[in-house]
Structure 1
Amino acid sequence: MASDALSPDDVDELARRAQAGDSDALEALLSAVRPRTLNVCRGVLPHLADAEDACQEALISVAAKIGTWNGRGRFTSWLHVVAVNAARSTYRRLKRQAIPVDVAPAERPDPRTTSVIAGTRLDLLEAMETLEREHPQLVEPLLLRDVYGLPYDEIAGLVGVPLGTVKAQIHHGRRLARPMLRATE
């Protein structure tokens, strides 16, 4: 059963039942949201195998931490945050595991745009890594707005800060990230 076949209210109801300990509801919920979760992960990790790893990690997190969904916003919005975090975690793991290739300088690809991880938008991921080290509160709102297009009010509910603060964080994050991003032709 795909989440597209379920209404948002149906997904929320499955999540509430799963929170209450209904293992059948949890199984149905995970099956229903898997395609959405994979799509979110593919937005960060375009290589299908990497995205599938991140999706699996996200679904495990959902099963383990479903009790942390507060039920005020849509379950799928909470899921979005879990999936983005799983994809970024997978990216960091793959980056640590990457074996440097000794390439002559003239043949070395531009490291801002070419990834050893199958075409990932490396400049964006590196910018988010830098922002996370220096301004961790800016990363999640910025990704949720500019990469995934969530509305400001939904982001405010997800991160638990006032709407004006979210807008300011996103504006500040954009200003800091812009110089780190390579212009796309």
Structure 2
Amino acid sequence: MPGMTTEGLTPDAIDDLARRARDGDRAALEDLLTAVRPRALNVCRGVLPYTPDAEDACQEALLNIATKIGSWGGRGRFTTWMHVVAVNSARTTYRRMRNQAAATDAIHLEKPDPRTTSVIAGTRLDLLEAMETIERDHPQLVEPLLLRDVYGMSYEEIAQQVGAPLGTIKAQIHTGRKLARPLLRGNP
């Protein structure tokens, strides 16, 4: 299946590849990674608008998918699980870049140039910073909030992915939104 994309495969076909890959079929794993790469890259671009940063995060996501595919339970769609892995990889990449920028800033004692330092050039930095702040005291709120408000996943998909009751997910998202509003730029 060289050159295939998720557009060419049904959700059932992707799930079948994932099951075979999870069970140790190396060829299925390679086909699966090829098939889901465009989708993983789009997820990472949603968090990291600078393309090279998103590509780094996508590579990390694909590596995580390959090494942790055994943790996909097979209850829900593989692409839902992959979506969460990609979001987490993008957030990890953002944190690493932010920490590197802070270390460089401390060494040079000057602000990084926003035209050359991609970690501070994106439009979603206020959202990422808000999620970091919320995560310190309420880590359970961040994943459902990002999956719903950034990626537009349904409440039902999120509940299935997170393994929590639908009502709990709705309450977590509501609380997360309430906490995020004052942290976002342009909000009172």
Taking structure 2 as the reference length, what is the TM-score of the superposition?
0.89
Q: Alpha-carbon deviation of 1:122?
A: 1.1
Instruction: Tell me if the contact between 1:94 and 1:117 (Cα under 8 Å) persists in the aligned partners.
Output: no
2:110 aligned residue? 102
* Percent identical residues: 71
1:15 matches 2:18: yes
Question: Given the alignment, which residue of 152, 169, 185 partners 2:155?
Answer: 152
Q: Alpha-carbon deviation of 1:72?
A: 1.0
1:136 matches 2:139: yes
Matches within 5 A, 1:12-161: 12-98=15-101, 99-100=104-105, 102=110, 116-161=119-164
* CA distance in 2 between partners of 1:120 and 1:81 (Å): 21
- What does the per-residue CA deviation read over 1:61-114, in whole Å, with 9 as the maximum and x for residues that have no partner? 0000001111111100000000000000000000000132625xxxx98xxxx9
Instruction: Tell me if the contact between 1:47 and 1:117 (Cα under 8 Å) persists in the aligned partners.
Output: no
Higher helix share: 2
- What does the per-residue CA deviation read over 1:26-82, in whole Å, with 9 as the maximum and x for residues that have no partner? 000000000000000000001111101000000000000001111111100000000
Instruction: Tell me if the contact between 2:156 and 2:166 (Cα under 8 Å) persists in the aligned partners.
Output: yes
* CA distance in 2 between partners of 1:80 and 1:183 (Å): 29
May I ask how many residue pairs the two structures share in their alignment?
Answer: 176
Taking structure 1 as the reference length, what is the TM-score of the superposition?
0.91
Paired AA for residue 138 in structure 2:
H
Structure 1: which 4+ aligned runs deviate by more than 6 Å?
none
Q: Alpha-carbon deviation of 1:120?
A: 4.2
1:176 matches 2:179: yes
* CA distance in 2 between partners of 1:116 and 1:9 (Å): 37
Gaps of 5+ in 1: none
Paired AA for residue 87 in structure 1:
A
RMSD over aligned CA atoms reads: 1.8
* CA distance in 2 between partners of 1:117 and 1:6 (Å): 37
Q: Alpha-carbon deviation of 1:183?
A: 2.5
Change (3 A) 1:115 1:123: farther
Change (3 A) 1:124 1:147: same
Change (3 A) 1:13 1:178: same
Q: Alpha-carbon deviation of 1:118?
A: 3.0
Paired AA for residue 102 in structure 1:
E
* CA distance in 2 between partners of 1:56 and 1:117 (Å): 21
